[in-house]
Amino acid sequence: MSTKLRIATFNVSMEALNYLPVSHGEDKGQAPQVKGDELAKSLAANHQQIRNIAEIIQRINPDIILLNEFDRQDDSHQALRTFLQDYLGKSQQGQAPQHFPYFFQGPVNTGVPAPFDINNNGTEGESPADTYGFGFFPGHFAMALLSKYPISHKEIRTFQHFKWQDMPGALQPVDPETNKPWYNADAWQQMRLSSKSHWDVPVSVNGQTVHILASHPTPPVFDGPEDRNGKRNHDEIRFWLDYITPGKGDYIYDDNQGKGGYQSRDPFVIMGDQNASSVEGDAINTGIHALLDSKQIQDPQPASPGAEEYTQGNPHGKYHTAYWGMRADYVLPSSFGWKITDSGVFWPKAGDDTYRLIKDRQASSDHRLVWVDLELPAADSAN
């Protein structure tokens, strides 16, 4: 018999800045005082926003879900364990508790100090500006993968340390005033591609293996005319296109020095907040456009009536996954091994009872949960 899976991605905004008394958007020019334990303290306080996030996940009931912007404080994963036990594992507003016995939350580049001047202002070691990925502490804005099926931890490939310069044709940022590289030679030699990380996580589903390809590229803004974040976003997305395209990923190496791109015949799913749309926004959209056009993937184009209502006639609006008006979050199954049966975005209409869960940014997150229903053929019929 075939196996039916619901796979989801959700930028939950469960990161330190979200739990400060004064938001980073209202700090009147003063740097926010971030300690790194803000998520843990909020979890201990039975936080309503976190309860709403858990309720959304319980309502969708995914088998595998990627959480973007879930802080990773240390190797104990205590914050994640608390969320699993005290929020997802307990009924929220009458919804069935959800249990994910398996998870992966590897280290990321956000908040990791870089030994050079990243923002090119003449001063090294400024936090968070001079970290490999913008963050106030190592693990800020991290990721977590939750699964109801076993994760093959020994087979996971991570690409946290892959160097940007090692990508052929990398979009190296250039200062338009001087026409010289934005990063000096030493910085460019050491600069990592991933603002968080790229993960290839094998999951065992009823005797078959599926691969979750997870990432969260940097927003293509908060820079200058050199467009260093826009170019990094493009190349972080392009990494997956090269990884899954036969003959294109030979240059890739993982954190254990394993070489090459995706060489398995097992089905995969690319997922996460890509911070890019092929038709809207500030990204260099050729990156996401090329990925969506790849023969290696299927694009189910999840939609919601709530987003369509919210965007008031925008022809792309029903596909939006973020409140500011863009499709940013993706679940893209491989073109082989899967049959898509349904998809959607959790974005209720204003008149729905569940609208309370997304009515503003403080209700849950500024992103919406995206899900895809997939059918995996039985092992004897998959070949």
Distances (CA, A) of 254 to 45, 158, 193, 355: 39, 6, 12, 42
383 pLDDT higher than 80: no
Average pLDDT score over the chain:
95
Distance CA 169, CA 140 (A): 29
Q: For position 191, what pLDDT does the model report?
A: 97
378 pLDDT higher than 90: no
Cis bond before residue 300 (omega within 30° of 0): no
Which helix (H) or strand (E) covers residue 8, if one does?
strand 3-14
25 pLDDT higher than 70: no
Q: Indicate the pLDDT class of residue 129, thresholds 50, 70 and 90.
A: confident
- DSSP type of residue 184: -
SS3 282: coil
Q: Indicate the pLDDT class of residue 29, thresholds 50, 70 and 90.
A: low
Please state the rounded mean pLDDT for residues 212-223. Answer: 97
How does 159-170 read in b/e, with b if 16+ C-beta sit within 10 Å?
bbbbebbebeeb
pLDDT digits (tens, 9 = 90+) for 46-98: 999 999 999 999 999 999 999 999 999 999 999 999 999 999 999 999 999 99
380 pLDDT higher than 80: no
Distance CA 333, CA 298 (A): 6
CATH class of residue range 3-381: alpha beta
pLDDT digits (tens, 9 = 90+) for 295-329: 999 999 999 999 999 999 899 999 999 999 999 99
Q: pTM for the full model?
A: 0.96
- DSSP type of residue 326: B
Domain ranges in the chain are 3-381
Largest Cα separation within the chain, whole Å, is: 62
List beta partners, residue 104.
145
